[in-house]
Structure 1
Amino acid sequence: MSTTLAASAFSSNPLWYTTRSTAVVGFVLLTIGAVLGVASTQRTLASRAWPRFATQALHRNVNVLGLLFILVHIITTVADSYVNVSAASAVVPGASSYKSLDVTLGTLAFDIFLIVAVTGFLRVRMKEPVWRWIHLLSYLAWPLSMIHFISTGTDGASGKWGFWLAVLATFAVAAAAVLRIVTPNGPQGPARSVA
């Protein structure tokens, strides 16, 4: 596709292309955030050369950036008249009449990621076990977002590039989880190294 043709297509449907692109970038960033989250424990990447707090800070910042892209994705989806997705659908599971189940999975993922992010910023004011249980919800949110990405987006159908991106992302998250499970505990760092 030539640059002129691509620019013409974007100018005729800017919300639709922005919705698609922010979904892809947001999904990739949340995948990187998930991998870093699994790796930011004392067992996986922590070392004198790469301290645990650096991985945790990177994990947090990548996830915040990913959520910002997802927020733009949601806003442009609601604003676009191509499909009828209400503002309530963004936060209320089951409120969408368009691909109800698929949008509901995305809504649940966003709601969970948002709760995890907010409590992440409040971590120093929370009891560690409470924060940890809430944070474990991200292990549910990421697969929900991946299924939403495949089933709702036009690029995620089987055989299209979005599908293979989701396969690669699943492999990366699974590999990080396996690495965490098989790696023995490393040096202990401060439990609350990132606020």
Structure 2
Amino acid sequence: MQGRLMTPAELDQALWALGRGAGITALVLLTVAVATGIVTRSGRPLGPWPRFGVSELHRTAALLGTALVGIHLLTLLADPHAQLRLVDFVVPFLGVYRPFWLGLGTLAVDLLAAVVVTSVLRHRLGPRPFRLVHWAAYGLWPIALIHGLGNGTDSGRPWLLAVAALCTCAVAGSVAWRVRRDFVEYDQVRARTTR
């Protein structure tokens, strides 16, 4: 039996599904990257997992999430129903379809690009500029989350809201872990102020 070619309508549907799936999976992986980045900075062990393992998970999730954002963008660019232009990936709020929600996605991509570039050039830039730009991830993540909830044909669906809630809980939990009283940097600040 020979395979048949996809019809244009089937191809459009496949591009939409791949683009949306890549975007949602990217959000989950970037949530893991943000949460593990916050937890790693806490200076405390995370149960039985060594700190270097959590750091490696952070880097791997960030790399895979970034790759999936690229797939998300390329498949939606190829999808004729998405009506995206190259400028829509760089300049926020110019899109034809839901310009506000698309613009948030563009803003998240711009921030992601800044974080990726400084991560690649980390050893040339030094720790201070790297850390300053890397803080953009704290803005990138909620912007990407809101973009995912507001854009696309499945926004408002219970399964997507459940994914968003789990992602939010993961980041909120890591922030709660970080701001606890026994955070290492707080101990160092307390030691300096009591001298």
TM bucket by the smaller chain?
A: 0.7 to 0.9
Q: Deviations over 1:135-184 (max 9, x none)?
A: 11110000000000000022231x52111211121111011111111052
Cα distance between partner residues in 2 of 1:108 and 1:12: 26
1:28 aligns with 2:28: yes
Cα distance between partner residues in 1 of 2:50 and 2:125: 23
SS at match of 1:182: coil
Q: Which residue of 1 aligns with 2:138?
A: 139
Which structure would you say has the larger Rg?
2
Q: What are structure 1's unaligned runs of at least 5 residues?
A: 1-7, 188-195
Q: Which residue of 2 aligns with 1:162?
A: 160
The alpha carbon displacement at 1:71 in A equals 0.7
The alpha carbon displacement at 1:111 in A equals 1.2
Corresponding letter in the other structure for 1:177: V
Distance 1:78 1:11, change over 3 A: closer
Q: Which residue of 1 aligns with 2:55?
A: 56
Q: Return the match for 1:184 from 169, 182, 185.
A: 182
Corresponding letter in the other structure for 1:139: Y
Give the superposed CA RMSD. 2.4
Distance 1:128 1:108, change over 3 A: same
Q: What are structure 2's unaligned runs of at least 5 residues?
A: 1-6, 186-195
Corresponding letter in the other structure for 1:164: A
Q: Which residue of 2 aligns with 1:65?
A: 64
Q: Which residue of 1 aligns with 2:85?
A: 86
**Contact persistence 2:12–2:81 (CA under 8 A):** no
Identity of aligned residues (%): 31
1:99 aligns with 2:89: no
Cα distance between partner residues in 2 of 1:84 and 1:12: 12
Q: Which residue of 2 aligns with 1:19?
A: 19
The alpha carbon displacement at 1:12 in A equals 6.3
Distance 1:156 1:45, change over 3 A: farther
Runs of 4 or more, structure 1, over 6 Å off, are none
1:173 aligns with 2:171: yes
**Contact persistence 1:26–1:66 (CA under 8 A):** yes
The alpha carbon displacement at 1:95 in A equals 2.5
The alpha carbon displacement at 1:42 in A equals 4.4
**Contact persistence 2:12–2:80 (CA under 8 A):** no
SS at match of 1:13: helix
**Contact persistence 1:19–1:74 (CA under 8 A):** yes
Cα distance between partner residues in 1 of 2:44 and 2:69: 28
The alpha carbon displacement at 1:118 in A equals 1.9
